Structure 1
């Protein structure tokens, strides 16, 4: 199940790509990231690493911060270890 964070970031990537009139294949070529990964990020099935986020932002002609707008810590899944600490 995709995290809310992955879904949110994917939606921002997709919206920016469409805003500038770029296809997924064009973004793949501009960023050096395989188009199947672009699809996975945009659909929220995968979470891009920091390095990948930078490459995506560069491919879109923007900054990584633009792809993080509105992201909150509660959008990330809580690890089992963290839940135990909070409960104890």
Structure 2
């Protein structure tokens, strides 16, 4: 059975998509700026995958924000506790 991503992944992904669209930047454009494959960017934005810290920092830099801006509103209750 496929693992359901945490609400935190969905929240962070929506922040990425929001900031990317505000800059009229395509997914492919963000992928190019970060060196992260655009299919991974799509997975992050859809909340299907949680990125590692390095990717979070690279995406934040490409979007011109501090990494904390992507984490705004994320709290402990948004993560799986069954792990």
Superposition TM-score, scaled by structure 1 size: 0.87
Superposition RMSD in Å: 0.8
Deviation at 1:59, TM superposition (A): 1.1
Residue 31 of structure 1 aligns with which residue? 34
Count, aligned residues: 80
Residue 56 of structure 1 aligns with which residue? 59
Of 9, 14, 22, the match for 1:6: 9
Runs of at least 5 residues in structure 2 that lack an aligned partner in the other structure:
none
Runs of at least 5 residues in structure 1 that lack an aligned partner in the other structure:
81-88
Residue 84 of structure 1 aligns with which residue? none
Establish whether residue 65 from structure 1 lines up as the match of residue 72 from structure 2.
no
Flag the structure with larger Rg.
Answer: 1
Establish whether residue 20 from structure 1 lines up as the match of residue 20 from structure 2.
no
Superposition TM-score, scaled by structure 2 size: 0.92
> Between Structure 1 and Structure 2, which shows a larger proportion of helix residues?
1
